[in-house]
Structure 1
């Protein structure tokens, strides 16, 4: 399944963003994985860890210790990506975003039942960083240590986000 959106963002207002693109697929989670627990189990089977089920924070933030998969497992939401000059995407149950380390994101509005299932490639984690909390040198060093995933969180293969990001770095 081809991604619905592939987008690279320039740095924006203290959000570093990334040379790797944000990748979004509409309606990508398998039917059996459209609840929190089953989505997290799918990610773990496919080599991704640190899974969780929660919402998306309503403030701009990014991660410097890992890339993040976000699969919508409840409700609908408008999510901003890339900072104030970035984009706003409507997500609903079944949609999947893979957010590179450094790319800003925040919930703009959501239904009361909105939930995401998230996770990270092996050895990575989703520290929460807001603009201005770390200096640029530290941000660049931390993001520079984050490797590319070897498997896609939904398929478990070297396709999907793995293929998109390998093309972006070659």
Structure 2
């Protein structure tokens, strides 16, 4: 498989979605050969990420103030909006992945009938909270800043670019 195309997306905070003031979203285009949802979740687990699930992305804007989230597309295609209402829309397909830093707003705009992805979290972040647009709480920005960086890249393991990208922000 060819090297994935890595894209960084910095998202400013909005009134209702905090996003992450320090860490960009990392998009991996063509990151893996998808062999279905179970194999996609197994990839994330093999790279040290936990709490896997198979589903889609909610059709409403939401964020997690206490967890980073990996989304690896197992099948189909979708358009996702990042950063909250008016944010950036990205198109994804099977074999693509995103890593959303804590606080990043995300929402499904459109999807093919067969769209499924596997979500996962760094160890210790599986018990995350979900906030919809307008549900931000007073301590959320502090929670976002306190979420530890992951030890591994969920898609490419210890040699993947995530840790370097996020560590170079500081």
- TM-score, normalised with respect to structure 1: 0.91
Structure 1 residues without counterparts, runs of 5 or longer: none
What is the 5 A alignment of 1:83-122?
Answer: 83-122=84-123
Aligned partners of 1:3 and 1:23 also within 8 Å? no
Deviations along 1:88-109, one digit per CA (max 9) or x if unpaired, are: 0110000010000101000001
Please give the secondary structure, in 2, of the residue aligned with 1:9: coil
Give the corresponding residue for 2:131.
129
Aligned partners of 1:63 and 1:103 also within 8 Å? yes
Give the corresponding residue for 1:16.
18
The structure where helix makes up a greater share of residues is: 1
Please give the secondary structure, in 2, of the residue aligned with 1:15: coil
- Give aligned pairs, total: 166
Deviations along 1:120-165, one digit per CA (max 9) or x if unpaired, are: 0110134221122232x31012212210011001122153211110
Deviations along 1:72-92, one digit per CA (max 9) or x if unpaired, are: 111100000011232101100
CA 1:107 to 1:40, structure 2 compared with 1: closer, same or farther past 3 Å? same
Q: Structure 1 stretch 3-12 or stretch 125-134: which is displaced more?
A: 125-134
Residue among 26, 45, 62 paired with 2:29: 26
Structure 2 residues without counterparts, runs of 5 or longer: none
After superposition, the CA RMSD in angstroms is: 1.5
Q: Structure 1 stretch 75-84 or stretch 140-149: which is displaced more?
A: 140-149
Mapped to 2, the partners of 1:145 and 1:119 lie a distance apart of 19
Deviations along 1:13-45, one digit per CA (max 9) or x if unpaired, are: 31000120001011102x2x4411111111111
Q: Structure 1 stretch 85-94 or stretch 54-63: which is displaced more?
A: 85-94
What is the 5 A alignment of 1:1-80?
Answer: 1=3, 3-18=5-20, 19-29=22-32, 31=33, 33-80=34-81
Mapped to 2, the partners of 1:132 and 1:79 lie a distance apart of 19
